[in-house]
Amino acid sequence: MDTEKYWVLWPEYFDAKLTRAQGRKVNRNLAVPDPSLEMLSKALHKLGVEFTLEEEKAYPGEWHLKKGRALVSITIPKSQLLVKVGEILVRSQRS
At residue 59, the pLDDT reads 93
Partner residues linked to 15 by β-bridges = 32
Where would I find the beta strands (DSSP E) of 38-88? 51-54, 69-73
Domains delineated in the chain: 3-94 (3.30.56.30)
Report how far residue 1's alpha carbon sits from residue 71's, in angstroms, rounded to the nearest whole number: 10
With a cut of 80, say whether residue 4 has pLDDT above it. Answer: no
Instruction: Read off the pLDDT of residues 14-52 as tens digits, 9 standing for 90 and up.
Output: 999 999 999 999 999 999 999 999 999 999 999 999 999
Q: How confident is the model at residue 93 (pLDDT cuts 50, 70, 90)?
A: confident
| Residue 2: CB atoms within 10 Å | 6
> The pTM is what?
0.91
Task: Label residue 68 left, alpha or beta by phi (over 0 means left) and psi (-120 to 50 means alpha).
Answer: left
With a cut of 80, say whether residue 84 has pLDDT above it. Answer: yes
At residue 61, the pLDDT reads 87
Q: Which residues contact 24 (CB under 8 A, 6 or more apart)?
A: 12, 13, 14, 15, 16, 18, 31
At residue 3, the pLDDT reads 55
